[in-house]
Amino acid sequence: QTGEFGTVTYSYSDIAAGKDTQTFTYTVTETVPQPSMQGMTYAEPQDVTVTLHWDSKTEELTVTVSNDGKNPVELTNTYNSGKLGVNKKDSANGNPLAGAEFTVYSDLACTETVDTITTNASGFGESKALPVGTYYVKETKAPEGYEIDNEDAYEMEIVADSTGETLSYTFTDTEKTVEARIGAKKTVVGLTSDTTTYTFTLTAKDGNTLVPADNTLELTADQTGEFGTVTYSYSDIAAG
């Protein structure tokens, strides 16, 4: 917005005797409210020069107003801001995770959303520039194949002297897993009494097959048992 102070009326007698110009200097100072707005840097005082000029030939009195060649005076307030960043990693191996979504809230109850963040291929994401204040960052969607490790909101603060830098915090997620066990039943045909213990070994038919640590099984006739547990994870599925 642009505005003007009240009118000042100058007269010929305001020019010093024997001169044809007279300069007057004013200072425009912003009144800082109390309490001041958090994070706001208020405008510096600005000097304004008023030059009064008498033209003896035309007998005209003129005036110019200038602040380094500018009028009106430019008074700029800067509202400090910063960004909130998140790093998303695999809890087991520390690899970066893309596609995690975070919501930034302005209240502890996490009801007032101010922005959302999605991590990139490097596992990093950041918010838009936010004003000074306290925020609460909460993971609201895990990357595909992962589970959120911590559903609590993390408090982050952009301080009053922030100069636009990004504050960051690291979150981890755990890959989804499922367990399976392969069972076997030993049947002996043709013997009415068999006390022999039979041993079986579970091996991988190809290089992509997981084998349990306990891959041997001993059974007697008509006995059922299971090999050790195999834990599969989302990353065991071929991409696509």
pLDDT digits (tens, 9 = 90+) for 207-225: 778 888 899 999 999 999 9
Query: Which pLDDT belongs to residue 41?
Result: 78
Cβ-contact 211, 204 below 8 angstroms:
yes
- Whether pTM > 0.85 for this model: the answer is no
Give dist(CA 82, CA 166) in Å, integer. 6
Q: Count Cβ atoms within 10 A of the Cβ of residue 124 and give its class: 0-12 exposed, 13-18 middle, 19 or more buried.
A: middle
Query: Which pLDDT belongs to residue 164?
Result: 67
Kindly report, residue by residue over 175-205, the tens digit of the pLDDT: 999 999 999 999 999 888 888 999 999 999 8
Dihedral (C-alpha) 187, 191, 192, 198: value to the nearest 10 degrees?
Answer: -50
Query: Which pLDDT belongs to residue 80?
Result: 79
Please provide residue 174's backbone torsions phi and psi, each rounded to the nearest 5 degrees: -110, 135
pLDDT along the chain (240 residues), means of 10: 92 90 94 79 89 92 88 84 93 95 97 97 95 93 95 90 79 94 93 90 86 92 94 82
The token pair that represents 37 in the structure block: 């707005």
Give dist(CA 84, CA 161) in Å, integer. 15
Give dist(CA 199, CA 53) in Å, integer. 114
User: Residue 231 carries which side chain, given as an amino acid letter?
Assistant: T
Cβ-contact 152, 138 below 8 angstroms:
yes
Query: Which pLDDT belongs to residue 151?
Result: 93
Angle in degrees, CA 35, 39, 44, rounded to 5: 80
